[in-house]
Structure 1
């Protein structure tokens, strides 16, 4: 798996901007911290982090064709906002090229939306959280979320999912169906 990590890093240097690369490295840094805290594979967390935004800088109009080539079923939300497909396309690409394991695949595939599958996929939770709290992120309550992630990954996941939903509503953005499903699933689990 170390070879896969190194090859993905080489791809990143070809496919993403320096700005995006700085973000990805921040996500990898945070993912390693959380992986160590929660006793999961640091290498898996890093591979997920390096892969999550592999295609984020591709022109959005190309995503619909890429998704079609992988046989992805698209929601109306994704057709209207193809940039939301970047994680799914990256997951499919890495699965086909490297046969990445399912927990890394799901983590990358659902890193934008969250997923009810993250209740059993800690790599997914780590990536979802790290993407929102990596060192270059700067928004209200980010320091609180960084500390919470180090103390309670479950609460951090719910709080970050809630923040994403609130942000989308405030900006009048569409919500991915997986986000709504993840929220409802987690709230029902808590009650």
Structure 2
């Protein structure tokens, strides 16, 4: 973990580091609430935006080197690849567990097979203390009562935001949403 934190401090901006520390703080609190080892939440939180601040032209190059399948939406907006790249890097360099890999890999889109650690990261990324948007206080409140409801409501909010901004919807987002509606 210390090596990952050293790498993080070298390649992310001060702004991003503040966000990551907020995600870390929130993920640890949610991990305690939902009986997940803090160290697992810490690894997911620290790793999720590891490559968020690299130069935009590098995303497609690194993704190709790692053998990541690039969707049309990701090709048009390569920043969407930052989670996948971080997950691949951490798997190759530190052999992170599969559920933490998935949490990081899909944190921009959501994932229909997310386990608890994935939901904790996804929710923490949206409600950490530096976030300020409509409904964030509501999401913060429900996150500590029902992580599944928080995940659903935040995913829905992201979909609505994307539609209102005429952004692409990622296939994984649509699949995650449709999966939620089945239960």
Q: Does 1:100 align with 2:104?
A: no
Secondary structure of 1:105's match? helix
The match for 1:142 among 136, 140, 143 is 136
TM-score by length of 1: 0.95
Report how far residue 140 of structure 1 moved. 0.8
- Number of aligned residues: 183
The match for 1:115 among 111, 118, 136 is 111
The 2-side partners of 1:41 and 1:86 are apart by 25
Secondary structure of 2:74's match? helix
Alignment partner, residue 125 of structure 1:
119
The match for 1:79 among 75, 84, 87 is 75
Alignment partner, residue 47 of structure 2:
51
- Structure 2: stretches of 5+ with no match in the other structure: none
TM-score by length of 2: 0.99
Report how far residue 13 of structure 1 moved. 0.7
The match for 2:6 among 10, 18, 22 is 10
Secondary structure of 1:151's match? coil
Alignment partner, residue 158 of structure 1:
152
* Runs of 4 or more consecutive aligned structure 1 residues displaced over 2 Å after TM superposition: none
